[in-house]
Amino acid sequence: MEVREIQGHRVPALGFGTFEMEGRSCYDGVREALDLGYRHLDTAQMYGNEEQVGRAIRDSGVPRDEIFLTTKVWYENLAPEAVRRTTEASLRKLAVDTVDLLLIHWPNDRVPLEQTLAAMVELRRQGRTRQVGVSNFTPTLLRQALELAPVFCNQVEYHPFLGQESLVELAREHDLLLTAYSPLARGRVAGDPTLREIGDSHGKTEAQVALRWLVQQPNVAAIPKASTPEHRRANFDIFDFELSAEEMRRIHGLARGQRMIDPSFAPAWES
């Protein structure tokens, strides 16, 4: 497993996403992911599965300190008191003393960012999270956050069909983790002719090529979700080949601004 070194901390470059996995299928998926060797898990208050993720971690027998665990505070819970209350609830559901990374799930301009980040930094001081970060922050919002708190990560949609040049550059400049969500464009990478051609020459699928392209970029981690056991295995099997500079460039060339996740409360992306 390749790791990212961010601000002196190690983060597995490949994680397991759990959006839209609930109940038994979430528990089984996370258990199996941990058995396969995944050591980076992504959940959120909004996913309604923190209990299952926590139980799977406990039952797996994998020591807690070997797993990089992220959860996210929902955008309606960003007032300081709600940050504290809902994070404590997340920790109770996950049945852990601390998470590795606590993120603002989406920006919310109705709550001053400095108040939210101050509450998160206080939780960090209390040992309830090791790092604080943001998600779905545009370059402008990220710069604001960086002036207010020691941000560790920005988690954003990133895959071959959606370029993130400015955010990747900012991540490098400030030694931040850029976690790529929906790294498979929610499954749409399958069938892309360029990814298929490159994959064929390495004996890999389009999805494996997309993930390899992400984890081959400095500061970038990817968190594919897979409810299918074969997909979970395939997504982990990307550390035995390398894309050439020319192949990396060709994949960068597929960017066409295609966003898979764009809710009504999303920020103005071009800001």
Catalytically active residues, by annotation: 47
Tokens 């299952």 map to which residue?
A: 52
Compute the least distance from the CB of residue 207 to ligand NAP, in Å: 3
Rounded distance between C-alpha atoms, residue 242 and residue 182, angstroms? 21
Q: Would you tell me the crossing angle of helices 193-202 and 245-252 to the nearest 10 degrees? A: 160
Q: Which is nearer to ligand NAP, 96 or 184 (CB)?
A: 184
What six digits make up the tokens of 20? 């839209």
67: number of Cβ within 10 Å = 18
The CA distance from 236 to 13, in Å, is 11
Q: What is the nearest approach in angstroms of ligand NAP to the Cβ of residue 89? A: 19
Least spacing, CB of residue 227 vs ligand NAP, in Å: 4
**Nearest one of 169, 113, 143 to 271, comparing CA atoms:** 143
> Quick one: 6 or 70, whose CB is closer to ligand NAP?
70
Question: Nearest 5 degrees, angle CA 89-CA 95-CA 96?
Answer: 100
Minimum Å gap between C-beta 38 and ligand NAP is 12
12 or 224: whose CB is closer to ligand NAP? 224
Q: How far is the CB of 205 from ligand NAP (least distance, A)?
A: 6
Helix (H) or strand (E) holding 221: strand 220-222
3-state helix, strand, coil in the chain (%, to 5): 45, 20, 35
The token pair at 117 is 């980040």
Tell me which residue has its CB nearest to ligand NAP: 17
C-beta of 128 vs 225, nearer to ligand NAP = 225
Residue 56 DSSP class:
H
> Which residues in this chain contact ligand NAP in the complex, by CB under 6 A?
17-19, 42, 105, 135-136, 155, 181-187, 190, 205, 207, 223-228, 231, 234-235, 261
Query: And the tokens for 41?
Result: 């898990």
Decide if 209 contacts 3 (C-beta within 8 A). Answer: no
**Nearer to ligand NAP among residue 126 and residue 140 (C-beta):** 140
Cβ-contact 202, 209 below 8 angstroms: yes
